[in-house]
Amino acid sequence: MGKLVELIALVKEIPEEYLDETLVKVKEIKEKADSEKEPGEADCPRCNSGQVVRNGRKSGKQAFLCRSCNKSFVQTSKSAIENSHSSATVWKQVISDTVNGVPIDKTADNLGLHHETVFNMRHKILYCVEQSLIENPIEMTGVCEADETYVLESVKGKKIPEGYHRQPRRHGAVAAKRGISNEYICVCASVTGNGDNVAIAANRATPSSQEILGVYGERVSEGTVVLCDGNSSYNILEDKCTVATTKRINKVNGFHSFIKERLDAMRGVATVYLNRYNALFSMVYAADESVVDEIFDWMTTQKGLSSTIAITQSVNLLNV
């Protein structure tokens, strides 16, 4: 349990006659914390000038004035949490819950937020993680294990349109067709030689050589050794790296199990968002607690990761 969640739970247990006293104490602590804050690094998001000075507060956040372009801004301007009404503490808790697979409803209940608010916050987090990995793709170095795992296609949250290729199914149901069919989305996964992980969905059913090339082609180099279970589609990588067959790909199978466990706990995710979750899984599998601060730093920097609800619900959606 995060400190914020623990604090909220304790406040809920305070007797009513002590609430006024508690509120006064909390306000005093908040005012003290605000007065001790340092401005930190805050280059102007419009002209990138470092000639900035403090300029009061805006919506509870420290504001700055740029001496070069004479524009005012806050530290979260042009970032993923621009215009957010939630504090950094709340955002870090939502990031922590996202990393640890806590259900959205539980996060909303713990923090006293609406389900839709947490849903939108979570998808901003996922979008930011995905964009960061798109801009800085993981390189497969050393000896890497690669294999595929399959998850049922899902239109969770939407009504299946008329004429769709399959009938609606309940949670926990199985595919109507036997074997690997177009009801399954293939997730190509790899555990790399330097401890990084790759998980990308690019197709339905069994991947073709060109789809394997699309996932791994720009990630491998001459010194990379890709270990696979004998799928001939991986042979297309032989012009770029070494491909070898083995029956022992336990590391990538462990990564597969992690992905399946997370998806099962969420009762599946809509296929259009699957690669966002794959990006998260790639980052947090076997990661330490510092990953929460790393994601928060990405979301609060002014490096083009700005996002709105409209963007998270329309950009880079998986279409297979």
pLDDT of 74 strictly over 80: no
pLDDT of 104 strictly over 90: yes
Q: What is the pLDDT of residue 43?
A: 73
Region 137-152: what's the mean pLDDT? 94
Region 59-86: what's the mean pLDDT? 77
What are the phi and psi torsion angles at 68 (to 5°)?
A: -80, -50
Residue 152 CB: number of other CB atoms within 10 A?
15
Q: Does residue 26 sit within a domain?
A: no
**How is residue 315 annotated by DSSP?**
S
Q: Does residue 273 sit within a domain?
A: yes
Q: Does residue 196 sit within a domain?
A: yes
Q: Does residue 311 sit within a domain?
A: no
For residue 212, what pLDDT band results from cuts at 50, 70 and 90?
A: very high
CATH number of the domain to which 195 belongs: 3.30.420.10
Q: What is the pLDDT of residue 303?
A: 58
Q: Does residue 43 sit within a domain?
A: no
pTM of the model: 0.82
d(CA 301, CA 320): 32
Range with top average pLDDT, 20-24, 52-56, 230-234: 230-234
Higher-confidence residue: 63 or 237? 237
Give the range of the structural domain holding residue 208, as residue numbers without chain letter.
139-166+178-283
Query: pLDDT (tens digit, 9 = 90+) per residue, 146-180?
Result: 999 999 998 887 788 777 777 777 776 777 778 88
d(CA 281, CA 200): 10
Q: What is the pLDDT of residue 34?
A: 63
Q: Does residue 45 sit within a domain?
A: no
For residue 200, what pLDDT band results from cuts at 50, 70 and 90?
A: very high
Q: Does residue 100 sit within a domain?
A: no
Q: Does residue 143 sit within a domain?
A: yes
Count of domains forming the chain: 1
What's the gap between Cα 60 and its chain centre?
27
> How much of the chain, in percent, has pLDDT values that exceed 70?
92
pLDDT of 299 strictly over 60: yes
